[in-house]
A = this chain, B = another copy of it.
């Protein structure tokens, strides 16, 4: 494919020779002749001066020096995603049409004829699976669960009874949606289980990461909004609500009944205590421990979490305490001296 053609397909402004042939796509460091690469992080800008790539995708306003033609675009991430689709290996799962003979599907399940079901999958009675959905190996769909159309359940993904999953949802490997909420009451010195008769609802276009768990509600539903992106090994507690288009990085934990707004971002390993409200478009730093409500658009950090400016200030102060201790000691000395001078009759 010629560079000019790619430029047209990804809606880029070509800066250089459009006749250059492009046959692959890869990172800046690894790129060689024939490769299209991209500058996603300004930090690596100087690499373009000596890149062996045949072309590089950059942000529209980028102004550095490049050893090869550049393609200027509004969103390098988007352009790169489009280019990867044009030039890379197929990324979709390749699952044969139809239902693998080993799959165990209840005759009382309603599975669209276009659904592809891999080996060792289980679909229980009353479950409904929409058109074009694919279930790779070892997936489980519980009784009366509903999976929309165009979904992808990767290997060993589990959807428990009565859970509702929207359209075009991706459930990654080993994810568990609708597991029992963690709730017990103590009686006579022992824990007794609180039944969780609620369910989980996952909105259209959401993604649930590998080995992530989303617990079912005590009553009602744990809700994951439309377009939400959840990374691996995340824990979503019972009755949590996550608003549309929020994103959370790996190993985040959201405790029971917390309400996370829309367009919220949570960094890796952050934790949110139960029954809190996180406002729309709030940003929760990695490893934060959120223990009170966060207003919309607020950025918080630290454990316990506080507004970013305060968290930085506290941390900076903490690191300068040794200096302040010295200044206080100095004051004590000088003051003692002054007292002596005064007492001495000066």
Which residues of A are in contact with B by a Cβ distance under 8 Å? 25-27, 30, 41, 43, 75, 77-78, 80-81, 84-85, 88-89, 91, 94, 100, 102, 104, 118-120, 122, 124-125, 136-138, 140, 143, 154-156, 158, 160, 162, 172-174, 176, 179-180, 182-187, 189-198, 205, 207, 209-211, 213, 215, 217-220, 226-227, 229, 231-233, 235, 237, 239, 245, 247, 249-251, 253, 255, 268-269, 271, 273, 275, 286-287, 289, 291, 303-304, 306, 310, 313-315, 317-319, 321-322, 324-325, 327-328, 331-332, 334-335, 338-339, 341-342, 346
Question: Least Cβ distance of A157 to chain B in Å?
Answer: 10
- Cα-based distance from A213 to B124 in the complex (angstroms): 27
Question: Least Cβ distance of A55 to chain B in Å?
Answer: 14
User: Could you tell me if A219 and B182 are in contact, using CB atoms closer than 8 angstroms?
Assistant: no
- Cα-based distance from A122 to B154 in the complex (angstroms): 13
Partner of A174, one of B158, B209, B341: B158
A-B contact list, 27 entries, CB within 8 Å: A88-B219, A102-B102, A138-B156, A155-B158, A176-B211, A176-B232, A182-B209, A182-B249, A184-B247, A186-B245, A191-B205, A211-B233, A233-B233, A235-B250, A250-B255, A255-B268, A287-B289, A287-B303, A306-B319, A317-B321, A317-B325, A328-B328, A331-B331, A334-B339, A338-B338, A341-B342, A342-B342
The 10 nearest A-B residue pairs measured at CB = A88-B197, A77-B185, A317-B321, A235-B250, A26-B219, A213-B232, A182-B231, A173-B176, A179-B210, A104-B119
Question: Least Cβ distance of A257 to chain B in Å?
Answer: 8
Partner of A250, one of B81, B194, B253, B322: B253
Partner of A75, one of B30, B80, B102, B187: B187
Partner of A27, one of B138, B219, B286, B310: B219
User: Could you tell me if B80 and A194 are in contact, using CB atoms closer than 8 angstroms?
Assistant: yes
- Cα-based distance from A94 to B108 in the complex (angstroms): 14
Residues from chain B with Cβ under 8 Å of A190 in the complex: 205, 226-227, 245
How many copies the complex holds: the figure is 3
- Cα-based distance from A183 to B209 in the complex (angstroms): 12
Residues from chain B with Cβ under 8 Å of A314 in the complex: 318-319, 321
Residues from chain B with Cβ under 8 Å of A209 in the complex: 179, 182, 213
Question: Least Cβ distance of A293 to chain B in Å?
Answer: 12
* Interface residue SS majority, chain A: loop
User: With A26-B220, A335-B338 given, is the CB distance from A253 to B269 under 8 Å?
Assistant: yes
Question: Least Cβ distance of A195 to chain B in Å?
Answer: 5
